[in-house]
């Protein structure tokens, strides 16, 4: 199994420096990862390094809390695309979802998808804060908003991906939307299990180690 083609090689730490992003980009090229995922402020830098490679550039919107206005998220998404992003990983408004107002959630997703056109939109639902009914509602909202992916976690919540959450999300997504597992994926066995459960992407900062362990 070629794990590299599932990996979004991720660095979203607030302490990330330009040289850290450069290293991430070079690792992504060397290991032929599908994408990197970085803060928006480093998009131009990453684009300059990756312009001749096949590695896609993903960035985050409304990150990590999701509590920004829809207008702010739309602006962030458009700005990111203009600066070289191929993919947007957005965070839903978790508090509003928990009130049961799913119309707000899917409208926001739809607005962002409309703003970025054919670019990939991944919707982070932050599963650690949701019960199963809320997870299902969030996935349905992402589906209705025409998102390309639904994603488990920011990596900044109280927990990351779980096998149970991915199974539940895959049930809702079916073949109409892809699933990205993110948060706490640090070993090859875990990564393979998620792929077997149907995920199309793995968000991890341990991508190099996963690929090295695969070669060994």
Return d(Cα 201, Cα 167) in angstroms, integer: 14
Q: Does the annotation mark 23 as catalytic?
A: no
65-109 pLDDT, tens per residue?
999 999 999 999 999 999 999 999 999 999 999 999 999 999 999
106-152 pLDDT, tens per residue?
999 999 999 999 999 999 999 999 999 999 999 999 999 999 999 99
Q: Does the annotation mark 89 as catalytic?
A: yes
Q: Which of 151, 165, 170, 178 is the catalytic position?
A: 151
Give the chain's largest Cα–Cα span.
Answer: 49
* Tokens found for residue 15: 């302490």
pTM reported for the whole predicted model: 0.97
Return d(Cα 216, Cα 214) in angstroms, integer: 5
Strand partners, 149: 122, 178
25-55 pLDDT, tens per residue?
999 999 999 999 999 999 999 999 999 999 9
Q: Which of 73, 135, 178, 180 is the catalytic position?
A: 180
Return d(Cα 155, Cα 28) in angstroms, integer: 20
Q: Which of 8, 73, 86, 89 is the catalytic position?
A: 89
Q: Does the annotation mark 56 as catalytic?
A: no
């Amino acid at each position: 199994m070629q794990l590299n083609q599932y990996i979004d090689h991720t660095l979203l730490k607030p302490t990330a420096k330009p040289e850290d992003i450069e290293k991430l980009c070079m690792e992504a090229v060397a290991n032929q990862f599908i994408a990197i995922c970085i803060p928006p402020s480093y998009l131009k830098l990453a684009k300059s390094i990756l312009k001749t490679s096949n590695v896609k550039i993903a960035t985050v919107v409304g990150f990590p809390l999701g509590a920004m206005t829809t207008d702010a998220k739309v602006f962030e998404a458009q700005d990111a695309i203009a600066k070289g992003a191929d993919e947007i990983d957005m965070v839903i408004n978790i508090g509003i979802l928990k009130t049961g107002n799913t119309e707000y959630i899917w409208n926001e997703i739809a607005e962002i998808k409309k703003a970025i056109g054919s670019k990939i939109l991944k919707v982070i639902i932050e599963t650690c804060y949701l019960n199963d009914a809320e997870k299902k509602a969030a996935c349905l909202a992402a589906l209705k908003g025409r998102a390309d992916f639904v994603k488990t976690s920011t990596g900044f919540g109280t927990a990351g991906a779980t096998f149970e959450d991915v199974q539940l999300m895959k049930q809702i997504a079916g073949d109409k939307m892809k699933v990205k597992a993110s948060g706490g994926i640090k070993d090859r066995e875990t990564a393979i299990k998620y792929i077997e459960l149907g995920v199309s992407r793995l968000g991890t900062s341990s991508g190099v180690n996963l690929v090295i362990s695969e070669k060994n």
